Amino acid sequence: MTSAESLSERIDALAAALREAGVAPDRIASILDRAATATMHALVLEALIDDGAPAKSATPGVQPLRIAA
């Protein structure tokens, strides 16, 4: 199982638990939005570390963060 699949399953489990607990749908959406964002950041960091590729800056003139090996 890949990291993406594992994290996806965890988000699905979180969604089910929140629904079962009776959390309001708008609050569930907000929590899942943040969980998805955190998941994407984790996967990007994992890819950067695994590939050893330097990060690209989205802001012109700003140097990307370099990861120590």
pLDDT tens for the 69 residues of the chain, in order = 888 888 999 999 999 999 999 999 999 999 999 999 999 999 999 888 887 655 555 566 666 666 655
Given a contact cutoff of 8 angstroms between Cβ atoms, the answer to whether 67 and 48 are in contact is yes
Asked whether residue 29 is domain-assigned, the answer is yes
Asked whether residue 62 is domain-assigned, the answer is no
Domain extent, residue 45, equals: 3-51
Q: Is 59 helix (H, G, I), strand (E, B) or coil?
A: coil
Which among 50, 42, 51, 48 is positioned nearest to 64, based on CA atoms?
A: 48
Asked whether residue 67 is domain-assigned, the answer is no
What is the predicted pLDDT for the residue at 56? 57
Asked whether residue 64 is domain-assigned, the answer is no
Asked whether residue 68 is domain-assigned, the answer is no
Q: What is the number of domains present in the chain?
A: 1
**What is the rounded distance in angstroms from the CA atom of residue 34 to the CA atom of residue 28?**
10
Asked whether residue 33 is domain-assigned, the answer is yes
Asked whether residue 17 is domain-assigned, the answer is yes
What is the predicted pLDDT for the residue at 1? 82
